[in-house]
Amino acid sequence: MAIGQFGTALQDVLKRAGDNRHIAGKVANVDASQIGKIVKGTRKASRPVMKAAVEHYDDGQLFLAAVADVSGGAFSPWLDNVDLHRASVLIKTVEEMKEVLVASGQAPISKTNEQITDAERHQIKRLLMETVEAITALTHLAAVLCKEYSFSWLGTWKEHRAELKVKKYLK
């Protein structure tokens, strides 16, 4: 059984980049056999290996796989069985965002947890799930745009964090 998502994503990124396991090993300061085990799913990638690879390859899919492995899957998974053409992803993202807006108009979020009924709890859960689906769509849209138009995934997030700091949303 494969360990984590990072190995699969690394294999995909190596294929797109035209790199082999030896090159990836140099990037991550490990030998090619360790990269082979990670790609095959028989060894989990260490955080230093993941960090070196994501920074070098600067690929949204690889970042999402690293986050999934580190967080136990508590973030958007990389969707590998959908049409990831930029137009298709944009259309799906708009659809998901509209679903969030509809659900947000029905969820009684002005009430506290103690005040809601079971039916209202269901409406709030629906809003939560629609929100997570929209996050997944938006994340893929960002990754597709970065890849299609040669923007840096890491640079985009660094720029976003800098803007949040300027706005005093982060310390």
- For range 141-169, the mean pLDDT: 97
Read off the CATH number of the domain in which 47 is found: 1.10.260.40
Give percent of the chain above pLDDT 70. Answer: 99
Could you tell me the two tokens for 102? Answer: 């509809």
Pair 51, 97 in one domain:
no
Same domain, 91 and 63: no
Domain presence at residue 76: no
Tell me, yes or no, whether 80 lies in a domain. no
Quick check: 41 and 2 in contact, CB under 8 A?
Answer: yes
Contacts of 132 (CB under 8 A, 6+ apart): 76
Task: Write down the pLDDT at residue 60.
Answer: 96
Mean pLDDT calculated for residue range 83-100: 98
Assign 78 a pLDDT band (cuts: 50, 70, 90).
Answer: very high
Region 99-117: what's the mean pLDDT?
A: 97
From the number of C-beta atoms within 10 Å of its C-beta (0-12, 13-18, 19+), residue 151 rates as middle
> Containing domain of residue 129, as a range?
86-166
Given this model, what pLDDT does residue 2 score? 61
E strand or H helix that includes residue 71: helix 60-71
124 is a domain residue: yes
pLDDT mean over 6-27: 96
Q: Which of 71, 94, 121 is the last residue of a domain?
A: 71
The pLDDT tens digits of the residues spanning 52-72 come to: 999 999 999 999 999 999 999
The predicted pLDDT at position 117 comes to 97
- Is the residue at 116 inside a domain? yes
Mean pLDDT score of the chain, rounded to an integer?
96
Local confidence band at 3 (pLDDT 50, 70, 90 cut-offs):
confident
Query: Tokens 């949204």 label which residue?
Result: 60
What pLDDT, on a 0 to 100 scale, did the predictor assign at position 1?
47
| Structure-model confidence comparison of residues 2 and 82, the more confident one | 82
Q: What is the pLDDT of residue 4?
A: 79
Domain boundary among 71, 104, 124: 71
Whether the full predicted model's pTM is greater than 0.75, yes or no, is: yes
Q: Is 56 found in the same domain as 20?
A: yes
Pair 101, 129 in one domain: yes
Do both 50 and 11 map to the same domain?
A: yes
Instruction: Answer yes or no: is 78 within a domain.
Output: no
Q: Among 71, 102, 117, give the residue marking a domain's end.
A: 71
As for how many domains the chain has, the answer is 2
Q: Determine the pLDDT at residue 102.
A: 98
Domain-located, residue 49: yes
Provide the percentage of residues in the chain whose pLDDT is more than 90. 96
